Structure 1
Amino acid sequence: MDFGDLKVIRLSDKRGANGTRLWECRCKCGEVIYVLGASLRAGYYKSCGCNREEKRDIGAREHEKTDRVDGTRKTALKAKLHKGNKSGHKGVRWNESRQKWTAHIGFKGKQISLGYFSEKEDAIKARKRAEEKYFDPILNSDTEYKG
């Protein structure tokens, strides 16, 4: 008997969490999985999960094509502040060894140092200027990555 891409092989000796025996099934990809009969009949299982992974990968590739501009991901530029950030601003942190604030920005897979500053506000200003220089042309672009 078939349920989607799963072909029931036999009732196995394996048992589910509630003690019910599981059905041994072979997926079209060749993977063997064990499933509750009620779950098969209800349509909860139609494959071993290989279809889900395939669809996910296709979706991820499509997103990457529309998200990249000139090798840079637009969504990364708009990402929220990391929960571990102590300065309150992206790309600005306290450098303990130099006892100064440092600013940096990531662009096209590279980290660009924007300098060291005695005042946090100066580091924030440097980061904002760099965002305008590097990020604004990409965020305001309608160009898609042709990669």
Structure 2
Amino acid sequence: MVLKLEGKRFGRLTVIGRAAEKDKTGRCWLWECLCDCGNTCLVPGNWLTHGKKRSCGCLQKENRENDVTGQRFGHLTAVRPTEKTVRKGIVWVWRCDCGNLVEATIDAIKSGGRRSCGCRNLAIKKRQAVEMQAGCGRQDGTALSLLKSNIVYTHNTSGYRGVSWHRTLQKWTARINFRGKTYNLGYYDSAEEASAAYQRAKKEMHEKYIMEQEIKNDDNSN
């Protein structure tokens, strides 16, 4: 039975058509394929259908040049590369400290956009919720003690409060929370620019509100 593979895609390879010769065994037809890198190659049909060949060889070269096996980034340790590729490169399997496995490119991990399988974000949110419910002087849905704080949480990879990396846009974004709402302050090329936007909003929202509340409390005490 002759396979019909024209136009089909296997990994980085797109099948152009069947070649005129068979493989060394003489049992399987060779197929001409165009790789995403621009090279063409001849591949036995069963290698394509069984996943034994996913590129002209460039994928293996990239794996060797960008081998991060065993390296640790945040709470994630690189396990192995997969056969999957996206615009940002090869997708790797990562093991989180909690034991879960996740898939992501090296770029997504190194950029600081992802540092765990998601378990750390959940733990941080729970801790913050506990802190906010522990009598932080909450008024109008706002904890005054948290507004006054400039602490940068350990999960923040930017080094600036209110600043994080947006993986899709590949830019730094600034956000600020006030009265139970989150305000997006825009996207910036540098973490410093995003931090400056956060500080402007903090002065306009937080500091102004804190001053108003302190004046109100002083009047009530008198």
Using the size of structure 2 for normalisation, the TM-score is 0.34
- Highest relative contact order (Cα 8 Å, sep 6+), 1 or 2? 1
TM-score (ref. length: structure 1):
0.50
